Amino acid sequence: MHEIGFIRDLAIVMIVAGATTILFQRLRQPVLLGYILAGVLIGPHTPGVLVADPQAIDDISNLGVVLLMFTLGLEFSVHKLREVGIGVLLVAVVEVGLMLWIGVGIGGLFGWKGMNALFLGAIISLSSTMVATRTLSESGQRRQPFAKLVVGLLVAEDMLTIVMLTLLTAVAIRGSVQAQTAFTLVGHLGLFMVAGMILGLLLLPRLVDYVAGFGRDETLLVSVLGICFGASLFAVWMGFSVALGAFLAGAVVAESRSVGRVVRLVEPLRDMFAALFFVAIGLKIDPALLVQYALPALLIAAVVIVGKTVVCSLGIFLVGHDPRTALRSGLGMAQIGEFSFVIATLGLSLGVISNFIYPIAVAVSVVCMATSPYLTRSADGLADGLRRVTPRSLQLLATSYSGWLENLKPVNENAALAAIFRRLLWHIAINVLLVVTLFMIGAYVNSHNWDWFSMFGIGRDMRHTLIWACALFLSLPILTAIYRKAEALGMLLAEIGISERFAGSYTQAIRQVLARVIPLATLLALALLVSVLGSTILPPRGVALSLVLLGVAFAVALWRGLVQLHARLQAALKETLDKPGSPGNGPG
């Protein structure tokens, strides 16, 4: 009977979800809003209980979180990260940080202390990717210039979501977190993501394309889901969340040539479990609590709409876009959604927030979802109205500022030099992260495999020596690449920065010195960084110095081979990232 009862509950949920989808499509409202309201209507807190076992539905709906994060990863490719730009990324960081601070402040004003205020700030800091993108698509504005900025902000927020979930988990478990611990957590998270992305990019896209070559959708779907859930379990084993593993798996699979087929196969499955997820959210809501906390919820919703609109619009304007485009971008971000529910669920599951925070989060999200389509459609009217009431002096100032930023953009010869400069810095940064990752992996092995070393009678100093030597010699191809890139960077900076007009006859000599100093300074800075991060596996000073000298000797003797080995690895990674597009394989 238990099995029949579960099938009955699932049937009721899916029938109601299907009906609300049709109804809310006709009303031109987000279907996610319909799912939540449907969950409230059939939930245990309303008369005439229809769903007997909400916990079973909730457990199944958690698959929706994994598949949601996986499909977000599929839409978040390395190419999109490049296209976001440092300006939009900075706007997203400032916006999330300010909204987090505002949320904590609002919680304090209402008398909600500690974790309640912190989780409220996190809940209102993240916009809804699903609501924003669907609103843009349904209004036919997906191709507008401001829509690309909205998508860029959402991509940046997706990355910040992973950081926030990790930090909130640590804060909730420990009760509080020191600044040093927070930086350590973020550092470990960043290293895990970089290592996972780079190692995954070398292997998984080729595997997915190989499986896709069989021409069977069933085989491809099962294989991709295996990668998704396998990565989720691996992330949990490493001390992170299933959401992080699923997101990374999607971001890596997104670089395969068959990503279009993968998206087409996974999306229906994602939509089904996402519907269950949002209905399960409604099942947890007590309407009595909604009525009790209606006023705080409406005030918080107003703060979300106004705060996100103002912060995002101002930020987009400051990075060089016209006021109308900036305002439309801000209005597109004025909502919260799926990640807010994930954060609220995290707080409830860990037992660190009060029960009323969850219905408030849902109520705020419902208000924002309901107003989002109207805000997007009325953006031009609002922009015209603001233009009419804005003093002419401020309009002139805004126009002058936009023109000044336009003049600062690199053109002609400067554009080519700027592109080379950015490429060199990008390559150096990637290689530095790889070296640091190797030593951090060594530190992880050292701290988690003590018994394994003890079985072979390996003591502390010998263990540190072996791990440090392995990390050093595995890093040699990368270190040679860092030196060569830094050398090219030094030559470029010397050519640009040292002018004959000021240096005279000493120009060439100074340029040569600068070209040599920069790569050596880069290696010295890297050595200090590795020493600090890998301090737990440093061997005795004499042994470490001997290993460094031995590594230098190997690098000199095998220089050409190390350069060729790194070139092959870089070519393999570049081939993955620079995959040729085809009409049938692009994301739908």
| Amino acid letter, 249 | A
Specify the pLDDT at position 302: 92
CA dihedral sign, ordered 162, 165, 167, 173: negative
Rounded-to-integer distance, Cα 552 and Cα 335, Å: 55
Q: Which one is predicted more confidently, 252 or 49?
A: 252
Distance between start and end Cα atoms, the chain: 42
Residue span of the structural domain in which 197 resides: 56-377
Per-position DSSP letters for 467-527, written without gaps between them: HHHHHHHHHHHHHHHHHHHHHHHHHHHHHHH--HHHHGGGHHHHHHHHHHHHHHHHHHHHH
Largest Cα separation within the chain, whole Å, is 93
Neighbours of 413 (CB within 10 A): 8
Rounded-to-integer distance, Cα 368 and Cα 307, Å: 12
Specify the pLDDT at position 411: 52
Rounded-to-integer distance, Cα 486 and Cα 127, Å: 39
Specify the pLDDT at position 83: 63
Shared-domain flag, residues 404 and 262? no
Shared-domain flag, residues 167 and 137? yes
Q: Does pLDDT of 583 surpass 50?
A: no
pLDDT tens by residue, 54-109: 666 666 667 777 887 787 777 766 566 666 666 787 888 888 888 888 988 888 88
- For residue 582, being part of any structural domain is answered with no
**Residue corresponding to tokens 């031995």:** 550
Shared-domain flag, residues 403 and 283? no
Shared-domain flag, residues 192 and 166? yes
Shared-domain flag, residues 393 and 420? no
Tokens found for residue 431: 């290689």
Shared-domain flag, residues 553 and 506? yes
Tokens found for residue 39: 């969950």
pLDDT tens by residue, 297-310: 899 999 999 999 99
Helix, strand, coil shares, percent, the chain, to 5: 85, 0, 15
| Amino acid letter, 319 | V
- For residue 25, being part of any structural domain is answered with no
Shared-domain flag, residues 169 and 237? yes
| Amino acid letter, 266 | V
Specify the CATH number for the domain of residue 87.
1.20.1530.20
| 35-48 average pLDDT score | 76
Rounded-to-integer distance, Cα 402 and Cα 419, Å: 23
| Assessment of whether the complete model's pTM goes beyond 0.75 | no
Specify the pLDDT at position 582: 41
Shared-domain flag, residues 97 and 129? yes
**Domain count within the chain:** 3
